[in-house]
């Protein structure tokens, strides 16, 4: 029997499904507990995105990774809370940088309050994550610190842009490896590590997390162009409006530079212009939606998901391995 699990994932084992659901419920409780403050205003701001929901993709990976050891080990749920708190903190900061108005179907913190509140709330969540992490041991602290460094480095690289002579697509994938892949890799590693799995399993799940993390973000790139706000939970074309060069746009520019049609060149010129104007933004969004570059970005997302699936090969067969393989399909097929 196939059970519809979290993230639209189909799990074929009811015992695994039940175990994961119990774990995710405990994570949810842990998130609310970790975001409480003696100051009611801080509690409201810190729980703003927690209450908005979300896919809880990273905690899901922690729960699945833990299946290769003792899934009920005491560090599993707290490590999932740490990873999700870190992710939530980056969302508060990202929305300030992107000047986004909507996140997870609700007004972003910067739109609801202001940029200062959003940035400081993100800092508060980082602090709470660090407090929990300290109880998980020095190795966990070291792993999380390394991932956080990579995450910030990825953000800086995105802001700085490609180095002279660097292919923009290669630069973008380097950015994603840091900004997204690093923390998702930690999620898989923490689950197995806290459950007492051997080092070989930890290495495999770290590599898997990195690759599926990139596939996840590439699928989000496609969703930013192809979906409406009801599907994605944020304003369509946000990255487009802010001039963030996501993969569909990078493919479009590459095709235009390699002798594209007059229509390609005109669309690139439109993207280079002022997209704060709603009419120009809508025209640009429609143009990228209709361009073959969007289909190419979908193919790239599928390729990374396939790589992630292949990484799982040496793991012992069982429900958890099957669920991780199915997650590769669930991630990319969100993007249609």
Residue spans per domain, the chain: 12-335
Confidence of residue 3 (pLDDT cuts 50, 70, 90): very low
Rounded to 5°, angle at Cα 132 from 320 and 18: 30
Question: Which residues on neighbouring strands pair with residue 4, listed in sequence order?
Answer: 10
CATH class of 12-335: mainly alpha
pTM, two decimal places: 0.88
Cβ–Cβ < 8 Å for 154, 175: yes
Q: Rounded to whole angstroms, how far apart are CA atoms 180 and 151?
A: 7
231 or 291: which leads in pLDDT: 291
Residues in Cβ contact with 95 at an 8 Å cutoff, skipping those fewer than 6 apart: 103, 108, 109, 110, 111, 118
Residues 246-286 pLDDT 10s: 999 999 999 898 887 888 999 999 999 888 888 999 999 99
Regarding beta strands 10-11 and 102-103, do their DSSP bridges make them parallel or antiparallel, or are they unpaired? unpaired
What pLDDT sits at residue 113? 63
């Amino acid at each position: 029997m196939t059970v519809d699990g979290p993230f639209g994932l189909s799990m074929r084992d009811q015992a695994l499904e039940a175990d994961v659901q119990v774990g995710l419920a405990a994570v949810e409780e842990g998130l609310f507990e970790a975001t409480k403050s003696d100051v009611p205003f801080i509690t409201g701001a810190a729980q703003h995105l927690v209450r908005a929901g979300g896919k809880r993709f990273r905690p899901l990976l922690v729960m699945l990774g833990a299946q290769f050891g003792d899934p009920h080990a005491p560090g599993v749920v707290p490590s999932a809370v740490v990873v999700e708190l870190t992710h939530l903190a980056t969302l508060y900061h990202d929305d300030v940088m992107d000047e986004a108005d909507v996140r997870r179907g609700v007004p972003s913190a910067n739109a609801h309050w202001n940029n200062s509140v959003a940035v400081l709330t993100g800092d508060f969540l980082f602090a709470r994550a660090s407090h929990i992490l300290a109880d998980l041991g020095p190795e966990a602290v070291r792993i999380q610190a390394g991932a956080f460094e990579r995450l910030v480095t990825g953000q800086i690289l995105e802001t700085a842009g490609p180095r002279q002579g660097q292919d923009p697509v290669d630069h973008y994938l380097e950015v994603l490896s840091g900004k997204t892949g690093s923390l998702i890799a930690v999620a898989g590693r923490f689950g197995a590590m806290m459950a007492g799995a051997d080092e070989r399993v930890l290495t495999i799940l770290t590599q898997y997390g990195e690759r599926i993390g990139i596939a996840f973000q590439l699928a989000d790139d496609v969703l930013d162009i192809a979906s409406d706000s009801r599907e994605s939970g944020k304003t369509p074309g946000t990255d487009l409006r802010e001039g963030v060069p996501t993969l569909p746009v990078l493919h479009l520019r590459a095709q235009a530079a390699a002798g594209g049609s007059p229509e390609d060149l005109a669309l690139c010129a439109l993207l280079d212009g002022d997209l704060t104007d709603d009419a120009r933004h809508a025209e640009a969004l429609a143009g990228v939606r209709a361009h073959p570059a969007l289909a190419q970005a979908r193919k790239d997302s599928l390729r990374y998901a396939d790589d992630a699936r292949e990484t799982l090969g040496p793991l012992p067969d069982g429900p958890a391995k099957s669920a991780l393989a199915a997650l590769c399909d669930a991630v990319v097929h969100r993007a249609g």
